[in-house]
Amino acid sequence: MKILAVDSSGLVASVAILEDDVLLSEYTVDYKKTHSQTLMPMIDEIVRMTELDMGSLDAIAVAGGPGSFTGLRIGSSTVKGIADVLHIPVISVPTVDALAYNLVGAAGLVVPIMDARRSQVYTGIYEFNEKNELETIEPQCALAITDLLDKLNNIGRNVTFLGDGVPVFREKIAENLKVPFNFAPAHMSRQRAGAVGALAEIYYKSGKYTDASEHKPDYLRKSQAEREREEKMAGEKNA
Amino acid sequence: MKYRIMSDKKDFYILGIESSCDETAAAVVKNGREVLSNIISSQIDIHTLYGGVVPEIASRKHIEKINQVVDEALKEAGMKPEELDAVGVTYGPGLVGPLLIGVSFAKAFSYTSKVPLVGVNHIEGHISANFIENPDLEPPFLCLIVSGGHTHLVRVKDYGKYEIIGMTQDDAAGEAFDKVARAIGLGYPGGPKIDKVSKEGNPDAIHFPRAHVGDSEYDFSFSGLKSAVLNYLNSMEMKHEDIVQADVAASFQKAVVDVLVQNAMKAVDRYGDKTFAIAGGVASNSALREAMRKACEERNVRFCHPSPVLCTDNAAMIGAAAYYDFMAGSRAGLDLNAVPNLRLGER
């Protein structure tokens, strides 16, 4: 099956075309240009390079969140526009799962960390079993970095970190983590649409996909206005 | 990308997409004038809880609705994506998060269906609503655009050629309606609520100032008027006197309408245009319509205004504006971005 995969959940913009177990093309840019300007030209580039007939796509995959709210929506709106014309399903791959899948085969725990601001990270705790399948120990969530490190100390196993949270929290990790740890090398340390697409194929086979109209990003966080309103209402209730 | 040869083609069908604020909308328009479908999904209920549009919430709602709205517009028009001649999308002005949904979706949709894309200015869309309502309307004419985000007095010199001759220096007219409505306990959205309650009130009960901007005779200012209403409310409270909500609303509305009519008619007299049009959400206001109609009649000037569904944010007006840009050769690239402060006439 042919899948177009897109990840614009963070600073990185990444697009890929996969056919069964072959990665036909992958294009990743980690540069401060808005995804609105880069994503479609990047898709066009790999489509032309591989002489892809868009009509031959079976599904379209997207890093469905968490991540930058705007980045997620640019990616999701793009795949929703493509899927609307082609009438193909959308496979929403959890962003942190896809990041972990960059390190398929790694020994020990794989812990992606994305900078979520306010001293929090979007993270999850994973490992790979003997069949190289991704096993989730802690599903993706928004967590204070200190809480994450406590959890990892409690589990007590070796950890490999990756993600754009690494440069932000490197020192904090070194100070507080009591288990052996290391960081993923450059070519595996950020979002890659190839990993999104490879996981998407597994998801697709287990029936985890939606119609374009049903797809929406999974932000893992409410908007600030909603949070403040809920706090206010809870406060009034308690008063 | 290859485009079809259109030399012997008679009719042009354009899908318009609009998401600049709190309405997710799509429409199919034939030849810039005939609306084949006009689907609007309003988020007003949720924003009412917050007393105004919350950009992050609006963005989240747009992405949930965009496919349904576009699919419905195509279905109602009986068209398939590849049968369209162009896709027109609002890329500014507006809220950046909401704009990005329409822009990203439209780029992907146009690319995949191999239909050319046209980027449309939201305010030019509002003006173009008059082309739909009045199939014989042609430039040149004068147009006043009044909405929650915009107050512009514009000369439409030709299709796609605009000259701004006046604009607000602070609040938009619709913004003043919202703020005053909140202050007198009417809530959001202020425009329709003030319009309704004003019908029961005396517009001459309280004299609020008519602000004129010194250096530019066609410009507007509404923040002073808003403050005058707030001061009046405060002074009444200090005196422990009750306010008559309908009188405050009617008097405020009259102050806004007076200034809008006065500046607009000054421009009509000066430029000698034989047609005057209004557009935008506040163009639905019944007092404004009536006053403009009267002023135009006195001058023997034709008065045009869109019906309410074309005054509110909608995509039919975007399809209409896109048609004229499309015919003039305008095409957007795959790197089209949202431009929150896009100026009228900017290309």
Residue A32: the pLDDT is: 85
Taking only the tens place, the pLDDT of each residue in B92-122 is: 999 999 999 999 999 999 999 999 999 999 9
Residue A231, in any domain of the structure: no
Angle at B30 (CA atoms; ends B26, B34), nearest 5 degrees: 90
Average pLDDT over residues B151-171: 95
d(CA B102, CA A214): 17
| CA distances (Å), origin B84, targets B3, B12, B28, B116, B273 | 11, 8, 9, 9, 35
Whether residues B273 and B322 share a domain: the answer is no
Contact A101, A198 (CB under 8 A): yes
Q: Would you mind telling me the total number of residues written for chain B in this entry?
A: 347
Query: Is A77 near chain B, with CB under 8 Å?
Result: yes
Residue B345, in any domain of the structure: no
Residue B8: the pLDDT is: 60
Whether residues B156 and B33 share a domain: the answer is no
Whether residues B301 and B316 share a domain: the answer is no
Sign, Cα dihedral of A209, A110, A156, A108: positive
Residue B98: the pLDDT is: 98
Angle at A75 (CA atoms; ends A70, A77), nearest 5 degrees: 90
Taking only the tens place, the pLDDT of each residue in A60-78 is: 999 999 999 999 999 999 9
| CA distances (Å), origin A109, targets A100, A103, A106, B9, B134 | 10, 10, 8, 63, 67
Residue A235: the pLDDT is: 86
Residue B316 belongs to domain with CATH number: 3.30.420.40
Confidence of residue B212 (pLDDT cuts 50, 70, 90): confident
- Tokens standing for residue B215: 């250096």
Q: What percent of chain A has pLDDT over 90?
A: 96
| B112 closest CB neighbour out of A39, A70, A85 | A85
- Tokens standing for residue B138: 């042609």
Residue A145, in any domain of the structure: yes
- Tokens standing for residue B342: 């896009």
Question: Which structural domain, as residue segments, surrounds residue B291?
Answer: 138-307
Residue A236, in any domain of the structure: no
Taking only the tens place, the pLDDT of each residue in B33-62 is: 999 999 999 999 999 899 889 999 999 999
B215 has pLDDT over 80 = no
Whether residues B93 and B199 share a domain: the answer is no
DSSP state of B49: T
Q: Which residues pair with B118 in a beta bridge?
A: B88
Whether residues A32 and A116 share a domain: the answer is no
| Closest chain A residue to the Cα of B101, Cα to Cα | A77
Average pLDDT over residues B267-272: 95
| B100 closest CB neighbour out of A36, A81, A216 | A36
Average pLDDT over residues B122-128: 97
A154 has pLDDT over 90 = yes
Whether residues B117 and B178 share a domain: the answer is no
Query: Is B81 near chain A, with CB under 8 Å?
Result: yes
- Tokens standing for residue A143: 């967590």
- Tokens standing for residue B89: 């999308």
Whether residues A6 and A82 share a domain: the answer is yes
Whether residues A213 and A168 share a domain: the answer is no
Mean pLDDT score of chain A:
97
Whether residues A127 and A154 share a domain: the answer is yes
Contact A101, A40 (CB under 8 A): no
Count of structural domains within chain A:
2
Residue A59, in any domain of the structure: yes
Whether residues A16 and A72 share a domain: the answer is yes
End-to-end CA distance of chain B: 22
Residue B211: the pLDDT is: 79
Whether residues A131 and A214 share a domain: the answer is no
Taking only the tens place, the pLDDT of each residue in A25-53 is: 999 999 988 999 999 999 999 999 999 99
Residue B2: the pLDDT is: 42
The enclosing H or E element of A227 equals helix A224-238
Whether residues B144 and B280 share a domain: the answer is yes
| CA distances (Å), origin B208, targets B189, B232, B248, B285 | 22, 9, 9, 19
Cβ–Cβ of B50/A229 closer than 8 Å? yes
Average pLDDT over residues A13-27: 97
Query: Is B100 near chain A, with CB under 8 Å?
Result: yes
The enclosing H or E element of B42 equals strand B34-42
Residue B7: the pLDDT is: 54
Contact A83, A200 (CB under 8 A): no
Taking only the tens place, the pLDDT of each residue in A173-227 is: 999 999 999 999 999 999 999 999 999 999 999 999 999 999 999 999 999 999 9
Q: Which of residues 196-215 of A touch B (CB under 8 A)?
A: 212-213
Residue A13: the pLDDT is: 97
Contact A4, A16 (CB under 8 A): yes
Residue A204 belongs to domain with CATH number: 3.30.420.40
Whether residues B53 and B183 share a domain: the answer is no
d(CA B220, CA B93): 19
Burial of B241 (0-12, 13-18, 19+ CB in 10 A): exposed
Cβ–Cβ of A81/B81 closer than 8 Å? no
d(CA B89, CA A234): 41
Query: Is A73 near chain B, with CB under 8 Å?
Result: yes
Average pLDDT over residues B69-92: 98
Whether residues A9 and A83 share a domain: the answer is yes
- Position A156, amino acid: G
End-to-end CA distance of chain A: 58
Whether residues B84 and B144 share a domain: the answer is no
Task: Report ipTM (2 d.p.).
Answer: 0.97
Whether residues A136 and A206 share a domain: the answer is no
Residue B189: the pLDDT is: 87
Cβ–Cβ of A223/B56 closer than 8 Å? yes
Helix (H, G, I), strand (E, B) or coil at A141: strand
Residue B1: the pLDDT is: 43
Taking residue A167's Cβ as centre, other Cβ atoms within 10 Å add up to 11
Residue B319, in any domain of the structure: yes
Count of structural domains within chain B:
2
| A40 closest CB neighbour out of B64, B100, B108 | B108
Written as one string, the DSSP assignment of B256-308 is HHHHHHHHHHHHHHHH--SEEEEESGGGG-HHHHHHHHHHHHHHT-EEE---H
Contact B33, B132 (CB under 8 A): yes
Question: Which structural domain, as residue segments, surrounds residue A25?
Answer: 2-94+191-222
Cβ-proximal residues to B225 (8 Å cutoff; 6+ apart), any chain: B176, B208, B209, B210, B211, B252, B255, B256
